[in-house]
Structure formats: structure tokens, C-alpha cells
Structure 1
Amino acid sequence: MMPGQALTRPRPELKHSSFRMVVVAADAERIQRTLAKFSAARGYTYEGRYQVPGLLEGSLAGVDFQLTVRTRSVPADGSGTLALPAEGAEQCEVVIMSTTSGRAPIDDVLDDVVQSLRGATAYSEAELDQIVESMPLLYRYAKSDAAWNSWALVFRDHYVENSVGFLLACERAGLAPEWIYALSKGDRTSHRDRVHATFIERGYRSAVLDNSVIDGAAGESEQREALLVGADVNEFIKSAHDAGRRVLVVDDGGLIAQGRATESTGWERIDGAIELTVSGLQRISRTDVEVPIFNMARSRLKTHIAYAEIADSCLRRVRSLLHGQKLLGRRIVCLGFGTLGARVARGLRASGGRVLVVDTDSLALISAAEEGFETARTLGAALEREAPFLITGSTGAQALTAEDLPLLPQNVFLAGFATKDFALFSRNSENLSSRKISDIGTEYLLSGGRKAILLGDGRSLNLYEAEGIPNQGYDAYRAGTYLAAVSMCRSVEDLQPGVHVQAADQAIEDAGLFDAYYDTYIDVA
């Protein structure tokens, strides 16, 4: 595997009613310890033995089943990390087989074993060092700082390597691990299990608070799980306050949308927040806010640097999923011509696509038209004029409606870069017949025998079984977020409640981050 393939390639796994095969980014000794701990916790027995160096065989048994587990050490292929594998790094191929005849299917037991092995995949110290080395700007600024001594942190974002880098930086600066609560936004990032395992191993709390819950689109089981997580977060915030610590949230509006920025909702109130996304700002606008919030979503850093990296990751991911499709000369409709959508449209046109832009904002349409794009006010109007093979969405709102379904051309691909754009399909509100296409997405059957293929899971496509942005690509944005967080910790007593637009920009400017970015990545001898 070439360096960087781990951005988009999921780890291989084979699944059958009587066996599982999985590749685990851990050595045989760690797998041995994990299986022993897993068995003890469930009242099973486990006995492992080495056949030869690098080849482990074990027996895992319960009351009415017996499994054989064979583990073979092989050189790490780079699929478990964004960096080149460290010298001598290994991973393991693990085969779990049922050796019991006449028993009912044991899929649940096999799946539990696989999940426990995935929990063994915390990044090694060598891999963590590689993450640190890949984010030089972040670690330029993350020095020991007394500002963290009286704070706790709730960090809610995608579970990717640069999130690991950010929290390691906070640790390095003096934030104790027990005062870090990490929350995944629920996207199926390729290394999410490794990230979670790393956070747990380092002493953080780690859980999932899915965006679908925040947006009111989750099912009953997800809502029940979110209530448990919410209660645990509340206990964490209360414990921090009882210990004399304030609580900072780095988020996309999820926790604030739940009412944690005001005392009138019954939740323990946080003390400050760093807002990362425009959708988060929209969520915040619908709730009362009694704490200061720094606006990273509209910062110069995100607008001029981070969005370019996000757009690049979107374009790379859609091209990788459409690797069997011709793009040159074919028609594409791009929904949304905002900061991200405009970059996506330009990128697809630069790749040879014939792009038409749809937006509800007249000024955005004027900008697109004056750049030479065809334009339309609605998707329906666009589909009446041409039959695209690809439709992208980056509006952050439901951009495709039931009225548009009869106009969709045969075998059209849908690529959403924001969660809501193609919610009609991802939530299947029209009860369409569908089939899953492994590692690609879902095919939906429309009227007249037409088919539409939703790439990924209808959420941010650049994060579907992928890492999204390389660590170096998000280094500056993580560094800027860190600088904003430290500024909040130092100045919170002097800040008024509400969203502060200039504060993040000022902290970044005062630190000289743009000069450091230029010197580090652009003006390199």
C-alpha cells in the first residue's frame, strides 16, 4: 500500500456464519491480552499458545460454544495510519472459527470478539509520535500553559487522526487526561475504532453523540443511547465544576443545541465554547446562549485555508468511489455555491466535468454565472434542462425533495458533503426499495425502473470509510482552534455571552499563525 491510501481504504474484514477474518493494527501480544480480558469479563475461558514465533493459536470457549482463534503477525501495510509504517511495525491477521457443531448460529459471539479486537487497536507510541510530527504548527503553539490548570474539555468532532493530534496537544500543554471528554459526531471514519481505543487507553472518556440525534433524525435506539451519553456528559461537567474547574466545549453546536449554554434547561451549564462549523452556528442561533462562544466557523483561517483542504478531500473521495466512471465531458449538478460548494464546483470543472450550479441565493448564482458556470434556482429546473450523471450537495439543508424524484435520470450518483442534502434518501422517507453496495453506498429503485445511487451513507462523503483530510492539511486549523481555546481560557471572565466573531481571528493573528504556515508549508527551501 502506498502512503496516503489509508485516507480512503477501509481495513479488510471477511464475515461468514461460522468464522470471521479481520486485520488488526496491533501485535500478537496485545491481541492475546485483549482476548483474555474479553473472556474473563464474559465468563468465558481463553487459552493461547504460540505455535511458532509470530503465529498464535488460542481456544475461546463458553458454556455452549468453542472458538479457535489464529493470529499471524505480518509487516504493517500502512492501512492503519496515514503515515508510513514505522520501522519494524507489525499488524495481525486474525481468523476466528467456530469449532462447535450442532449449535445455533453464533454471529453475535463472533461479532463481539471482532469488536473487542478492534478495541485493541490503540495507536502505538511510535504512531502517536508520527501524528505529532505530521502537525508541526499545532505543536509549535501547544506548549506548557497554566491556562489549562483550571479547565476541563469536551471535544466533539470527527474521530480522525488530526483529532488525536489536537487532544495530545492539549495534554502536552497541561490538560490532565481525566478532564478530557471526547465525543464522536458519528461519521464512519476509517480509523474511528483506533481513535476511540486510543482515547480510552489514555484515560479520556469517549463516546458517540451522533449528528442525527442533534438534528432530530435519529431512531429510537440512537435516541436512547444519546440520553445515556448526555447524562454522562452532564456528570462530567458537574464533576469538573465541583472540582473548581470551568468547562470548555469544542463542538459544532451539538451540545449547545441541547441547551448546555444556559441554566434554564436542567443541564449543567458549560462555561465557554469554540464553534467549528456553519451548521453549528445555525443550531446555536435557535437556542439561548449565556456563555461566550468563539466563532471558528467564519474565521479567516477556515475560510481561506481549511475549506480548501475540505474541498480537496471531498473531490478525492468522490473520485475514488467513482473510479469506474468517466468524468471528462459529462454533466454534473452542484447544489450550493457557498464557501465549500464553490470549491467543489470549480474542482469538478477543472477535472473536465460540465458543471451546472444550483443555489437559492441570487448573489451566489451571479458569482457562479460570472465564473462561467451554467446556473439554476432549483434542482427541478436544472433537471428539466439536462440529465447529469452526478449530483453533489453541500448546502447543509434538504436539497432534494420528493418532487425531484421523477426527474432524476437513470443511474445518477448522489454525493453529499453535508448531512441533510440527500436526507430523503439516507432516511428513506419515501420508503423506496434499496440494496446496499459494499464500500460504495446504497442503490434506490425509483419509478419506471430507474435507479439512483447514494454514495456513502448520506453524510459527509469525504469521511465515509475514510480519514478525510491529511494531518498536514488540517494542521493549521487545529493550531488555530488550539490558540482560540487558550485565548478563551485566559479571557473568559472578561467576555460577554454570545457569539464572538473577531476573537478567534485576533488570537490567530497575534500568534503569527499565517506567517508560520507560509514558512512551514509554502516557502520551503
Structure 2
Amino acid sequence: MKEAYYADIKEPSLAPRGRDRIEWAARDMPVLRLIQDEFKQTKPFTGVRISVCLHLTTETANLALTLKAGGADLFLCASNPLSTQDDVAAALVKEYEIPVFGMRGEDAHTYYRHLHLALDHKPALVMDDGGDLVSLLHTERTELLGRVLGATEETTTGVIRLKSMQQQEVLRFPVIAVNDAETKHMFDNRYGTGQSTLDAILRATNSLLAGRTVVVLGYGWCGRGVASRAQGMGANVIVCEVDPTRALEAVMDGYRVLPAMEAAARGDFFVTVTGNVNVLDQRHLERLKDGAILSNAGHFNDEINIVALEQLTLQKRSVRDFVTEYTYADGRKVYLLAEGRLVNLCAAEGHPASVMDMSFANQALAAEYLLHASEPLAPGVHTLPASLDKKIARLKLQAMGVAYDTLTVEQEHYLNSWETGT
């Protein structure tokens, strides 16, 4: 087999194992498989350079194969230094001849070097997870802006950054906020993050959740998922929120809602999932009880103030894979998982493939839409058209063997009329 000409991965010999795992994930990604079959026929990306900055997992590999089937000239790099699955990276390079730049545990210098190499690819389309590639294009690599037709963004955190850029009128090309599609955030964020976050916490700590207090900081779609799964395993769940509507929703869903300062002294496990900075700050860290376990399910490792945690600490040591013990001056011990990074991808495998099937179907169709929309999209943040969102839902139901109702002609007419009243 011809060697991929360009790659920076940790262990090429892992490729056969990675291939097997990619194929295993594909079993649970029927929607993406149908799109891949369509792309093989239509070739929507022929000659189009796409730089992909996503978590390098088995599911991402199947997205890459779908884009390649559509004719794309791909370049992949990691969107997090600790989330790369090295066997998957090796398989993409050795088995599928796709350039990959990412390895588990890479330092910050290597991470940003890979991002710059992804932009050296001179992409027409960018797929981002967290907004780092788009940010670099608008700061350090502005010479490439004229080449970029558009981008897609996978995460809540990234969409927040993009909307800030749009508000400040600096965003120079259209971006599809894939995260805002209903078949993404309602399923990936809620069911995917909910399950995979607890999976990671349990793998890392081997702890029992039943009867323990889990504090969830943030009650968006991801927070809802974490809270419901923790409650389902018998935990007592406390929710912390800054939005009154979401706080009210958490109360109505049966959770205790407390300010973070009160929750800090009560929690056994903490999960930050807000997309904001220093959600667990020094004032909260000072109140933690002995044995508290801290984790972050947001994209960046700045939701827990790790600098403040270090300042409170006399001694720290690694006690298990992905578990660091911090000993305070008074003898209390606090445990941080996965260095405060995205715990579900750093200490586990991330979302199940059946959930990512919809998320990456959104990515694939969003990329096609950016290129072939009937009218070019203006610079700014856009949502995926509802027709494509519903197409993904229909395909998923079809794959699951689930039938559903459709409106009758009479019902369609009624919904589109105004004359009939009481």
C-alpha cells in the first residue's frame, strides 16, 4: 500500500487495531454510512481541501472516510492534546492514506504546530471543534482568509466564540453552527455527554455514585444529560446555574439548585459543563470537603481554576491513570481528573458511535451545504437548514426501524389556514 506522505502520529504499528475499532464504530453509524454511499456517487468535494480539527476518535475516522469518499483532499489534526486515540490516528494514516497530525499527550507547542500545519494545507473548508482553527485564521494566519469558503463548528464553546466574533464584526466567512442543529445538541450533548462523562468518571475512579452528591455546574443540554444520568445511578444531584430560566427548569426536573459556594461544601463529585472560565474558582476550591473529585466536561481546561488549586496545595501526586491528588495545607485531599481537560474524551472514549452518527451526519451535510447552497452564505454564524436536520432524524429513525406518523392533507391545510376558529 502507498504510504501517506505526511503525518505526525505516535505509533504506526497500532494501525491494525485502529482499523478494527473504526469498523466497529461504523456498525453504529448507519446515517453517516448512507451519506457516504451518496457521496461516493455525487462526489461533492472533488478537489476541495478540507482541514479538520476534531477529536481523533473512531467516530471522527468514519466522518473522515465519508468526506474522502466525496472526493475531499483532507488534513486532520487533534482538537485536544489528550483526546487522540493513537491507534485510530495510525489507522487513518497507514490503512486509509489520510494525513493525520495528532498524538495523545502532545504538549502545547506541538498542538499549535499541528494547527498551523492544518492551515498550511490551504483549506477551502474548515471543520472545527472549539474554534481554534477559525481563531488562528483571524489572528495569525490572515493571509489565508481569502481562500476559505466557510467552516463548521461542533461545540457549544466554539459557537460562543464565533458569535462573539460575529458580534464584533470580525468574522470573515460563513460558519455553520453544527452544534445548534436539533439532531446534534438534543442528542449528542444530552445523551452523549451525559453517558460518556459518567463513564469517564467511573473508569478513572472506580467509585460508586449511588448515595453520593454530584454537583453539576451548568444546566444546558450537556448539564441536563450529566444530571439525569447521575440521578439514574442513584446520586443526589445539585445543579448550579447563572441563568434563572435554566435554574427554574432544574428545580422543576427535581434537582436541588444551589449557589456554587454552598454546593462546594456539599459535593462528592463536581462536573463543570458551562463553556465559561473559572466556574470552580479559588473561593469554591477552598470550601471543598476531603475527598472531593473534580472533573470538567466543557471543551477547554479553564472551567476549573487549576492555578488556584495549585496555590492551595502543599503536595500533589498521580494516584491512578487520569487522577491527580492535591493535598491542602490542612490535610484535605482533592482529586482532579484528566488535568481538568475534557474528561469524557481524556479518561474514556467519548460519545458512543450511535450518537456521533447524527453529529457527524450534520458535519458532512453542513460541509456540502456550504459549497453548494443555491446562494452563497454571508459571513457570520448560520444554522443548518431545518430540512437537512429533519433528513438526519428521518434517516436515524429508518435505521432504527422506527415508524412515525405524518400529517394528513386535512391537517396540513388546517395548520396553514387562519379562517377556522371556535
Settle same-fold status: TM greater than 0.5. Answer: yes
1:366 alignment partner, SS class: helix
Pick from 94, 108, 111 the counterpart of residue 222 of structure 1.
108
Asked whether the 8 Å contact 1:426–1:457 carries over to 2, the reply is no
- In structure 2, do the counterparts of structure 1 residues 463 and 522 end up closer, same or farther at CA, with 3 Å as the change threshold? farther
> Which letter does structure 2 place at the counterpart of 1:306?
D
Q: Partner amino acid for 1:338?
A: G
Q: Which residue, out of 306, 313, 318, partners 2:201?
A: 318
Q: State the Cα deviation string for residues 38-69 of structure 1 (Å, max 9, x = none).
A: xxxxxxxxxxxxxxxxxxxxxxxxxxxxxxxx
**Aligned-partner Cα distance in 2 for 1:427–1:227:** 25
- Equivalent position to 1:409, from 280, 283, 289: 289
Instruction: Call closer, same or farther: CA 1:268–1:454 in 2, change over 3 Å.
Output: same
Alignment of 1:256 with 2:134, yes or no, is: yes
Partner of 2:408: none
Change (3 A) 1:339 1:230: closer
In the TM superposition, residue 415 of structure 1 has moved relative to its aligned partner by: 2.1
* Residues 296 and 504 in structure 1, CA contact (< 8 A), matched pair in contact too: no
Give 1:9's aligned residue. Answer: none
SS at match of 1:499: strand
Matched with 2:406 is none
Q: Which has the higher strand share?
A: 1
Say whether the 8 Å CA contact 1:440–1:456 is kept in structure 2. Answer: yes
- Residue 227 of structure 1 deviates from its aligned partner by 5.2
Instruction: Describe how 1:87-486 pairs up with structure 2 within 5 A.
Output: 118-123=11-16, 128-142=22-36, 143=38, 144=40, 145-175=42-72, 179-189=73-83, 192-201=85-94, 202-208=96-102, 222-223=108-109, 225-226=110-111, 228-237=113-122, 246-260=124-138, 265-269=142-146, 270-287=148-165, 288-307=170-189, 308-323=191-206, 325-377=207-259, 379-383=260-264, 387-397=266-276, 398-418=278-298, 419-420=300-301, 422-425=303-306, 430=311, 432=313, 433-486=315-368
In the superposition, relative to structure 1, how do residues 263 and 425 fare at CA in structure 2: closer, same or farther (>3 Å)? Answer: closer
Shift, 1:314, TM fit:
1.2
Alpha-carbon spacing, 1:353–1:426, altered in 2? closer, same or farther (3 Å): farther
Task: Confirm or deny: 8 A CA contact 1:292 1:492 kept in the other structure.
Answer: no
Does structure 2 retain, via aligned residues, the 8 Å contact 1:487–1:507? Answer: no
1:434 shift after superposition:
0.8
Q: Which amino acid aligns with 1:184?
A: A
Aligned residues: 383
TM-fit CA distance, 1:516: 1.8
Q: Report the secondary structure of 1:523's partner residue.
A: coil
Superposed displacement of residue 410, structure 1: 0.5
Deviations 1:422-445 (A, max 9, x none): 532378552732101231410111
User: Contact conserved, 2:47 with 2:71, CA < 8 A, in 1?
Assistant: no
1:498 aligns with 2:376: no
Deviation at 1:229, TM superposition (A): 3.0
Q: Which amino acid aligns with 1:229?
A: H
Q: Which amino acid aligns with 1:312?
A: Q
Contact 1:188 1:463 in 2 (8 A): yes
The Cα of 1:408 is off from its aligned counterpart by 0.6
3-state SS of the aligned residue for 2:180?
Answer: coil
AA in 2 matched with 1:412: A
Greater per-residue helix proportion: 2
Unaligned runs of 5+ in 1: 1-29, 35-114, 213-217, 241-245
The Cα offsets for residues 92-128 of structure 1, whole Å up to 9 and x where unpaired, read as: xxxxxxxxxxxxxxxxxxxxxxx96x22211476665
Structure 1 residues 51-66: aligned runs within 5 Å: none
For 2:108, give the aligned amino acid.
E
- Structure 1 residue ranges (4+ consecutive) displaced by more than 6 angstroms after TM superposition: none
1:413 to partner: Cα distance: 0.9
Q: Which residue of 2 aligns with 1:92?
A: none
> C-alpha separation between the residues in 2 aligned to 1:266 and 1:427?
38
- For residues 475-503 of structure 1, what are the alpha-carbon distances to aligned partners after superposition, in whole Å with 9 as ceiling and x for unaligned? 122122211111112128621111112x3
Letter in 2 for 1:185: S
What TM-score, normalized by structure 2, do the two folds share?
A: 0.82
Whether the 8 Å contact between 1:294 and 1:504 is mirrored in structure 2 is: no
Distance in 2 separating the partners of 1:410 and 1:438: 18
Q: CA deviation at 1:506?
A: 3.1
Change (3 A) 1:414 1:250: closer
Corresponding position: 1:507 with 2:364 = no
Cα gap change, 1:492 to 1:499, in 2 (>3 Å): farther
1:358-378 superposed Cα distances (whole Å, 9 cap, x missing partner): 11111111111122211123x
Q: Which has the higher contact order (CA 8 A, sep 6+)?
A: 2
Q: Give yes or no for contact 2:282–2:308 (8 Å, CA) kept in 1.
A: no
2:410 aligned with 1:517? no
**CA-atom RMSD, angstroms?**
3.0
**CA–CA distance in 2 between the matches of 1:329 and 1:184?**
37
Cα distance change on mapping 1:251 and 1:309 into 2, 3 Å: closer
Secondary structure of 1:400 counterpart: coil
Is the contact made by 1:315 and 1:344 (CA closer than 8 Å) also made in structure 2?
yes
Contact 1:182 1:199 in 2 (8 A): no
Q: State how far apart, in whole Å, the 1-side matches of 2:28 and 2:231 are.
A: 31
Indicate the percent of aligned positions where both proteins have the same amino acid. 21
